[in-house]
Amino acid sequence: MNLVVSHYQKDIDMKNLSDQPCLIARSLALVGDAWSMLIMRDAHAGLTRFDEFRKSLKIAPTMLTARLSALTEDGLLEKRRYSDRPPRDEYVLTEAGRDFLPVLFAIGAWGRKHRGGGEVTRFFDAETGTEIDPVTIDRGTGAPVGTRAIRIAAAE
């Protein structure tokens, strides 16, 4: 399963995950590894530069280059020049990248419930000051996902 890159080539995922009808599989073709998710997390926390990510994640620079390129290529990040001399680029979230935040919060919510305890980073609503308690609901019924029966259809 190679979710990434060799050289100047775009991601080649296993079994063409990105061509499958399942949208979960398609998404995982892009961000289905821990590094990519953690980069997205850090990008949401405001990091933009290569060295910021590298130090935060203690990731090998080769890996970081590959992941940043892939995420940029896939439209979750955007390269932006912030200095011409020396030439320096930073990576900022695109709209698609910002839309990824709910996924991170859903993962975090699961973690809080099932891997909580000890020292934990928490998030608060800046205005109300209440801790954020993420729930994924179906906009149609308003019910939390998993509380009602679901029917699957392989449609167009």
Interaction between residue 56 and DNA (CB under 7 A): no
Taking CB under 7 A as the rule, does residue 73 contact DNA?
A: no
Give dist(CA 19, CA 38) in Å, integer.
24
Interface residue with a copy of itself among 33, 52, 73, 89 (CB under 8 A) is: 33
Contact window for DNA (CB under 7 A) among 18-26, 86-94, 96-104, 132-140:
86-94
Q: Which two tokens stand for residue 98?
A: 């910002």
Q: Based on the shown chain and the rule CB under 8 A, indicate whether residue 64 belongs to the binding site for a copy of itself.
A: no
Partner from a copy of itself, DNA, none contacting 26, C-beta within 5 to 8 A by type: a copy of itself
Angle at CA of residue 143, ends 139 and 146, nearest 5°: 110
Residue with tokens 């859903």: 106
Work out whether strand 88-93 and strand 77-83 pair parallel, antiparallel, or are unpaired.
antiparallel
Vertex 36: Cα angle to 35 and 37 (nearest 5): 90
CB of 124 to a copy of itself, least distance (A): 5
**Positions in the binding site for DNA (CB under 7 A):** 1-4, 6, 12, 14, 33, 35, 49-52, 58-63, 65-66, 68, 85-90
